[in-house]
Amino acid sequence: MLEQLKEEVLAANLELPRLGLVDFTWGNVSGRDPATGAIVIKPSGVPYETMKIDDIVVVDAEGQTLEGALRPSSDLPTHVELYRHFPSIGGIVHTHSTWATVWAQACRGIPALGTTHADYFHGEIPCTPILTEAQTANHYEAETGLAIVARFREGKIDPKTMPVVLAANHGPYAWGNNVHDAVHNAAVLEIVARLALHSLQIDARLPPMPQHQLDKHFFRKHGPGAYYGQR
């Protein structure tokens, strides 16, 4: 199972530049093996164009290396905290994609303005609070993950219906049932971030879409009553 997951994580990482979600080495994908809890993740600072399967790193649920000669992504502690507190997810993506990062740098959530947003995200895409000096100085990457978890708990946000978040002053994270879903959600987040910014440039006072329309579009694709697509 781990060999298959390593192949999937490598393929997912290579999708990021193809989708225009990363520049240089600014991003990472991880996947979790549900049987063992092991996490498979991109190595730190390795260019996508040279990355190969032997570079992929396997760590345990606490982030200790089990397999691989290279250091894992420096964002690994964030991934560890998200997997620990959101046990339903199987893959995580972090990027500095342009449009989502614009919102993260503005420290603002992305309002649900239309059905493209509502098809994937049930409400405003949240942004975390800015990390304190103490949080930044001590275990910064783990504190980033804990800030995401705290934002979801305080806002009573379900990570299943909101599989994305903006880390303030930093960038977006996305997750899903597996690495493929996580990459897809990261790509949709980038599109939604761009649409929202342009919409608000037309009218800065534009209100969020009506709740009944948001619910209709989200639940026609998600949940027991979903009817979008084929059986």
Tell me, what's the pLDDT at 231? Answer: 77
Angle CA 98–101–107, to nearest 5: 150
Please indicate whether residue 55 is annotated as part of the active site.
no
Sign of CA dihedral 139, 144, 146, 150: positive
**Domains plus CATH for the chain?**
2-204 (3.40.225.10)
Burial zone of 156 (CB within 10 Å; 0-12 exposed, 13-18 middle, 19+ buried): exposed
Please indicate whether residue 140 is annotated as part of the active site.
no
Tell me, what's the pLDDT at 90? Answer: 98
Catalytic residue among 83, 119, 173, 215: 119
Nearest CA to 83 out of 186, 6, 182 is that of 182
Question: What 8-state DSSP symbol labels residue 119?
Answer: T
pLDDT one digit per residue (tens) for the chain, 231 residues:
699 999 999 999 999 999 999 999 999 999 999 999 999 999 999 999 999 999 999 999 999 999 999 999 999 999 999 999 999 999 999 999 999 999 999 999 999 999 999 999 999 999 999 999 999 999 999 999 999 999 999 999 999 999 999 999 999 999 999 999 999 999 999 999 999 999 999 999 999 999 999 999 999 999 999 999 987
Tell me, what's the pLDDT at 227? Answer: 94
